[in-house]
Chain A
Amino acid sequence: MSTHTFCEHDARMTDDEHGLVVRAIAGDRAAFDLLVRAHYPRIHATAFHLLGNHEDAEDVAQDCFVRAHGALKWFRRDGSFAAWLRRIVVHLVRDRYRRVGRRPAFESGVPDRPARAAHEPEREVGQRELARLLTEAVTRLPENLRIALLLRTRDELTYDEISQATGVTPATARTQVMKARRALLRLVPGVGGGKREER
């Protein structure tokens, strides 16, 4: 996962970036390239978290910048460029969910965590199995809940940022995340705790 969250990046929005946006609108390809370089990893990460596989994420991330290029002249310069891109990418992800079916094809592979694996191998195996079950359960959530939850847990966005990206109020975003968590507690058998597993 990226070391910078969107929140941190938004906070670091500088005059330089606004200058790049202005230059890109004027047709300066180098400026546009710099914007892509600055934002591509984060946009790709968001797409990956929402779609669950590298291939689709790459496709959507590139599509996001193609769209952004076409619509740059309508970007309101008083807003955050990262937030604007994030809104586009969420829109494209939704579009993709609707086109290819509501459930994303999450990659099944779970990355190794060598440091932990060395100390607590059994626990690590359990965690990986749990992550696999969680990944499956997330695909079964309704689209809105899934997007809000993944933006919160994987992209580590604030509720205001989720609100901007998804077009709902922050209160609704908060409710969606809570509902999603509640649903996952039901859907993921691996977190059933001692009593449930024994049953």
Chain B
Amino acid sequence: MNRTRRGCRVARKRVLRAVDHELALEERFLLDEHLATCSACADEYRRALRLEEAFAHMPSPPSESLDIDRALDAIHGTLSAGADERGSVAPRSNDARVRVAPGRRRRTALAVSVSAAALLAVYVALAGGGGEPRPVRPDAPAPSPQWVDSESVAPGKSDADAEREAQLRETARVERELRTHLVAAFGDVALPLTDADVDAALERFDALTVSIKRWPLARIAAPLLRDPDAGLASRAARFLGRRGDRLSVSQLEAVLDRGAVANAAIRALGDLGRDATVALATALHAPGLQGAALRVLARVGGASAAATVADDLARWGANDGVVDDHLDALAAMGEPAVASLLTLASRPEVDRGRVLACLERVDGAAEECARLFSSGRFGDPELEFEVCARLQPTALLPWIEERASEHRYRASALACLERWDGSTPIRALLELDALGWVPGEDVIASLRVLAERDAARFAEYARDLLAARDERGAEHYLAALVAMDVGAAAAALVPLALSPVLPNDSRQWAALAVGDLGSVDETRLLLRGSTLLGADDHRLFAACLVTIQRRLGDDGTLEALERFSPRHVRRVRDALLVATNDDRAEARFAGDAVELFRVMRALDGAFLSRNPNLAQSSL
């Protein structure tokens, strides 16, 4: 049966690879053989083929309506709007017009020059110039006046051209004014400008530009990025960072190759936020700008910025300084960087240990990993276990337990749990045992490893179980502790022996197990607890005495019995001495039972005739 299931599992994988044309000839024969005998897999194969065929019927790009000339116009429209004075693109010919694809609002914004005249008329009317003003609702927002691109106006003598020239003159006036105010507002501040400097300068700028504030100032400021005065260009860049829009991204990107302005451009791109991520990725590749770009990307944050930094890091392989800078940036981005870090860690050219150490520094990484792994987004179990061992996200315990139930992942899943701190892995291992998902001997072996690493957690877990009054859990735990046979974990037996949560029989075995597995320290704890036991715990007390005599000798027994009358003390000691002088090393548990019985008989009546010299409070 198992063999058949395994055969089907292999065949299903081969089916997927067959439709992907990735199957070697020999495997193809094996698959065909299997399909001939297994109708379920043959059905799966037919379904996979139908699906593959359906891909060909999905919508295809309408190649006949693809207008490359129009696309070229739009591309150049964007480029010329983004960098009017950029030398890398030849100026547009006069008859070239940017035609805009329907519905493309962003591109529409770039083509305003065509409709500038009509809109400027509205502005002129609002400004009080030219002709009879049209009635305007007092509460209606005034439209922004349109800036006229000098390249879009052909030199000519027609009325329309004359009108455009007038608009150009007006635009030039505003541009001059803007330039003057930009210098006045930003000029006194030394470069590079801090964020606080920019805030203060913008306040001054706003106060100076009340009369032109309705003009598209960001657009007018863009050419200043190419101003020969690098100081002015840098200030314009910071201005665009705060007052610009998505169009400003490509304008700023275009001056990244201008050394004196590049740093201001990068900071401005950072101010523009996530829209600038792709442009910042360009800066990452530029010599000398990497550090600044990384800092800004870390500030911008988001999954896209993280993926950009991670992609760039993979390029650098083992270059320590650069890798550290990249990892620091990713760590600063927080949760959105987790997916990128995991992807990065799975790449062979990257030092996985360093990436995972970085992952540990990311706030919220454990929760995000839990989310990602549970969604099955990563297909690298080795990496996932390594991450689980390092971050120890409790939300992933069900995921680890599920893996542990599968034979192929069991060893890795248990090894992962063995690296966890605290009592959480003990609970998980006991749960796996209780569910029967992992063989008991594997659970015990893992518990032993946990005890070797940190034995104190075992007593802590026993106290947790008892505090929760989890009787079944405590009994299960007791059985596991006895099966572990590890002295270091014996401290956990003491609270189990002394707590009324467990039934009396189990408590007796716990007390005896302290004698077998524990040391003097654990026995002293047992002694201290046993002095509080009452007549109802008669048998348990006998078990404690056996253990005390074994580990602490006569002095310990006398201390445990001091509340009883001398006659009963003598009877119990006689029983114990006979018992412990009796050499039954070969049958330890049977011997314990016999000792226990003798001591129990000797204790008969002891609780009813206590030593009158001792205070009652000791009970």
Contact A153 B55 (CB under 8 A): yes
Does A172 reach chain B (CB closer than 8 Å)?
A: yes
Does A65 reach chain B (CB closer than 8 Å)?
A: yes
Choose, from B72-80, B111-119, B142-150, the stretch at the interface: B72-80
CA distance A133 to B50 in the complex (A): 12
Contact A54 B61 (CB under 8 A): yes
Chain B CB within 10 Å, residue with most, of A36, A130, A182, A191: A191
Question: Which bracket fits the contact residues of B?
Answer: 35 or more
- Shortest A148–chain B CB gap in Å is 11
- Shortest B432–chain A CB gap in Å is 27
Contact B44 A185 (CB under 8 A): yes
Does B453 reach chain A (CB closer than 8 Å)?
A: no
Does B282 reach chain A (CB closer than 8 Å)?
A: yes
Contact B59 A44 (CB under 8 A): no
Contact B89 A69 (CB under 8 A): yes
Contact B61 A44 (CB under 8 A): yes
Chain A CB within 10 Å, residue with most, of B13, B52, B375: B52
CA distance A54 to B62 in the complex (A): 8
- Shortest B500–chain A CB gap in Å is 52
**Which residue in chain B gives the minimum CB-CB distance to A53?**
B59
**With known contacts A62-B78, A153-B55, A193-B43, A91–B278 Cβ distance under 8 A:** yes
**Which residue in chain B gives the minimum CB-CB distance to A58?**
B101
Which of B46, B48, B103, B377 touches A144 (beta carbons < 8 Å)? B377
Interface string of A35-48 (1 = CB under 8 A from B): 01100110011001
Query: Which residues of B sit under 8 angstroms from A188, Cβ to Cβ?
Result: 51, 54
Does B303 reach chain A (CB closer than 8 Å)?
A: yes
Interface string of B57-94 (1 = CB under 8 A from A): 11111110110100110111011001000011110000
Query: Which residues of B sit under 8 angstroms from A69, Cβ to Cβ?
Result: 75, 79, 88-89
CA distance A25 to B51 in the complex (A): 44
Contact B71 A58 (CB under 8 A): yes
Which of B13, B20, B75 touches A36 (beta carbons < 8 Å)? B75
Which of A30, A52, A70, A130 touches B50 (beta carbons < 8 Å)? A130
- Shortest B278–chain A CB gap in Å is 6
CA distance A131 to B376 in the complex (A): 26
CA distance A168 to B63 in the complex (A): 30
**Which residue in chain A gives the minimum CB-CB distance to B42?**
A193
Does B134 reach chain A (CB closer than 8 Å)?
A: no
Query: Which residues of B sit under 8 angstroms from A94, Cβ to Cβ?
Result: 304, 307
Does B611 reach chain A (CB closer than 8 Å)?
A: no
Query: Which residues of B sit under 8 angstroms from A77, Cβ to Cβ?
Result: none
CA distance A27 to B322 in the complex (A): 32
Contact B71 A40 (CB under 8 A): yes
Which of B13, B55, B68 touches A154 (beta carbons < 8 Å)? B55
Contact B47 A193 (CB under 8 A): yes
Contact A29 B60 (CB under 8 A): no
CA distance A67 to B97 in the complex (A): 21
Choose, from B121-129, B249-257, B481-489, the stretch at the interface: B249-257
Which of B58, B71, B87 touches A135 (beta carbons < 8 Å)? B58
Query: Which residues of B sit under 8 angstroms from A107, Cβ to Cβ?
Result: 59
Does B343 reach chain A (CB closer than 8 Å)?
A: yes
Contact A66 B75 (CB under 8 A): yes
CA distance A44 to B70 in the complex (A): 13
Query: Which residues of A sit under 8 angstroms from B386, Cβ to Cβ?
Result: none
Does A86 reach chain B (CB closer than 8 Å)?
A: no
Query: Which residues of A sit under 8 angstroms from B48, Cβ to Cβ?
Result: 181, 185, 191
> Which residues of B come within 8 Å of A, CB atoms?
13, 16-17, 19-20, 22, 43-44, 46-48, 50-55, 57-63, 65-66, 68, 71-72, 74-76, 78-79, 82, 87-90, 101-104, 106-107, 250, 253-254, 257, 277-279, 281-282, 285-286, 302-304, 307-308, 310-311, 314, 343, 346-348, 375-377, 379-380
14 new A-B pairs (CB below 8 Å) besides A61-B71, A131-B57, A134-B51?
A33-B72, A59-B106, A65-B71, A67-B278, A70-B250, A107-B59, A127-B54, A130-B51, A130-B54, A167-B311, A167-B343, A172-B379, A178-B17, A193-B47
